[in-house]
């Protein structure tokens, strides 16, 4: 069992697993709901999971940029962070809101189904936490 400090590679693997699980859980739930309830609800869950995945990736990029800025040494040239990264950091929730509203108004996808799809990220994070605490100790 790992007891030492976590490496950058370890954090990268955790982030990759959470991103993969988010899309996987969302797709599985969307298929089940589309087959048992209605296709609009299935599409809503898939849209929500995809938005959760994009939100997670953009959050990770933003935190990496902020981390680089905070680690810059005094007197050394500051790392250049793309304007696009800052736009993604501050526009994540606006994008989610606009896309949810658009899907609701134009395609009549139920808002609750899209919000349920957004929960795929939480489910993925919980699954990863269980994997790290239980799966590693076995």
Give the model's pLDDT for residue 111: 93
Q: What is the pLDDT of residue 26?
A: 97
> In the predicted model, is pLDDT for residue 76 greater than 70?
no
> Percent of the chain, pLDDT > 70?
89
Closest C-alpha among 43, 49, 48 to residue 21: 49
Q: What is the pLDDT of residues 15-69, one digit of tens each?
A: 999 999 999 999 999 999 999 999 999 999 999 999 999 999 988 888 777 777 7
Confidence of residue 137 (pLDDT cuts 50, 70, 90): low
């Amino acid at each position: 069992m790992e007891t030492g400090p976590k490496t950058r590679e370890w954090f990268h693997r955790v982030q990759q697993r959470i991103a993969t699980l988010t899309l996987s859980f969302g797709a599985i739930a969307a298929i089940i709901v589309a087959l048992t309830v209605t296709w609009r609800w299935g599409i809503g869950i898939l849209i929500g999971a995809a938005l959760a995945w994009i939100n997670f990736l953009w959050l990770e990029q933003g935190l990496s940029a902020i981390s680089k800025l905070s680690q810059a040494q005094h007197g050394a040239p500051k790392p250049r962070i793309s304007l696009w990264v800052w736009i993604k950091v501050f526009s994540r929730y606006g994008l989610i809101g606009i896309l949810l509203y658009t899907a609701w108004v134009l395609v009549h996808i139920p808002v609750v189904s899209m919000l349920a799809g957004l929960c795929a990220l939480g489910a993925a994070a919980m699954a990863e936490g269980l994997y790290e605490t239980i799966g590693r100790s076995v």
